[in-house]
A and B are shown apart, each in its own frame.
Chain A
Amino acid sequence: MFALLRLSVIGFIVLSIVYIFVSFYSRAKRRGKLEAAWDRGDRDGDWRVDEEDKAGGPFVDRDAYIADGMKKYDGSLRPKLILGVYVVPVFAIGLLIYLTNFA
């Protein structure tokens, strides 16, 4: 059981490093896209709706536009999909155990 514990601990550490890298990479990628979209003048029809500006209106500030886009990104499916970094290896190991020993 010690070997299984060792595999779990080392696997968790390695996958966490991968997860952190992929998360940061994906966020940086999205931020770059938002910046490029703002600079092109192509704002995907995004309109500001918040406490100060209930009525809504076009973004006037680049930082506000990017902050809003990043907030939408954090709530989207993509950051949750990155959790697959933990899930996929566990299933791969399960499949491998079945194929090696019981198939």
Chain B
Amino acid sequence: MVYVKWIFVSLFWLFVLATLHYTLPQNDIVRIADTYEKRIDFGENSIFWAAPDVGNDTTTVNRDVFFIQTIQQNDRPLVYRNEDTGWGWPPYFKFDTSNLQAEATDFKSTKEAAQWVAVRHYGWRNEFLSIFPNAVGVKKVEGPDVRIIPWFNIVFLTVFFAIVWAIWVRWKRFRAARIDPLLDDASDAWDRVEAGTSERRSRLSRWFRSWRGPDSRN
């Protein structure tokens, strides 16, 4: 039973950490090669796509999505989608998709005269699911080795785990003060019931033994 409990606990925390990793912003230093848009028919990966531009019809089954093609420092490609998150999840409140596409296009550069930019994004690239990280912002940087300190993530994660810890400590205190005594009472009562039955059983067996005469007692 202990193993089952720990499997559930680890699965829960794995899910929480995966959600945080997917949702929190990260910066990549890349070179923008090109930008394009493509009609997407959302399939089983639809949960990994955001929303149509705020203000547009939200009931259509497919739409054009902006993409940003980039090359990383190690010469490997990384493609971003560029979608509004609007008022929905994740709470980036991004409404400026078309502006971002214009900025990204403006940063286009060649391999020979590379213009490095930091793309702020959330999400994962997965070739098997055809999902792309969603670009949230693009900023010019000095070179490919610039280091960006993720202040937002540091503050957010500190506050998040502080709140989790605070609730956890209070829940444990509440359990120790209110629930454990009840369970103790219940198990005490059960002990009394058991003690009572064994007492009665031994009285019964003594009576049975008395049938067999005084010498059979042992």
Contacts and interface: CB of A to CB of B under 8 A. Distances in A.
Interface of A: 2-4, 6-7, 25, 93, 96-97, 100-102
A100 B137 contact: yes
Interface in B52-87: 54, 58, 86-87
Nearest to A101: B96
Contact of A93 (B54, B58, B93, B136): B93
B95 interface: yes
Interface in B94-114: 94-96, 99
B204 to A, nearest CB: 51
A57 to B, nearest CB: 35
The prevalent SS among residues of B at the interface is loop
Contacts of A7: 87-88
Secondary structure class of chain A's binding surface, majority of residues: helix
Interface residues of B, number: 16
Nearest to A89: B91
Contacts of B54: 3
Given A2-B58, A3-B54, A3-B86, A101 B95 contact: yes
Contacts of A3: 51, 54, 58, 86-88
